[in-house]
Amino acid sequence: MDDLEALYKQVIMEHYKYPHNKGLLDNDKYKKVHLNNPSCGDDITVQFIVEDGIIKDIKQDGHGCSICMSSASVMTDVIMGRSVEDAKRLIQEFLDLLTGKEIDDEELMDALVYQGVSKFPARIKCAGLSWKAIKKGIEED
């Protein structure tokens, strides 16, 4: 096992066991997007609020595999507090990274370790689900 693979497993387990920003709010001011991935059974809802062009808060909830759930937790850490423009760029970088493109943007933080997923095509949808959900919400806004 190389270092990246070890780190990848560690990040996934940490965020799976102790997810960040988990649990939805009963607040109409938040935009809510629900997506699922039938091939794995992943089901995720992302909720966020934009104020003055900044993504001020993000919540996520759902169920599914460890890759999907951990990635949703990591996504909230990476995207929260970003401008909408930065968020769009980082989401695209993450989705590119999943398909095997060389991405080395330290702003992606823990999300960088998911480049290991590109070796397992069936899991790309798992890792990308929450990122696609917030992308959809931002683009509709």
Binding site for Zn ion (CB under 5 A): 40, 42, 64-65, 68, 126
What's the CA gap between 50 and 30, in Å, rounded? 8
> Shortest distance, CB of residue 67 to Zn ion, whole angstroms?
6
| Encoded tokens for 123 | 């899991």
> Shortest distance, CB of residue 57 to Zn ion, whole angstroms?
25
> Among residues 46, 113, 119, which one has the least CA distance to residue 76?
46
Are 94 and 39 in contact by the 8 Å Cβ rule? The answer is no
> Shortest distance, CB of residue 133 to Zn ion, whole angstroms?
14
Burial of 86 (0-12, 13-18, 19+ CB in 10 A): middle
Cβ closest to Zn ion, residue 68 vs residue 103: 68
> Shortest distance, CB of residue 44 to Zn ion, whole angstroms?
10
- Residue 109: partners with Cβ closer than 8 Å, 6 or more residues away: 74, 77, 78
Cβ closest to Zn ion, residue 65 vs residue 97: 65
Are 105 and 94 in contact by the 8 Å Cβ rule? The answer is no
> Shortest distance, CB of residue 101 to Zn ion, whole angstroms?
21
What is the H or E stretch that residue 42 is in?
strand 42-51
Cβ closest to Zn ion, residue 41 vs residue 100: 41
Cβ closest to Zn ion, residue 128 vs residue 137: 128
Cβ closest to Zn ion, residue 50 vs residue 117: 117
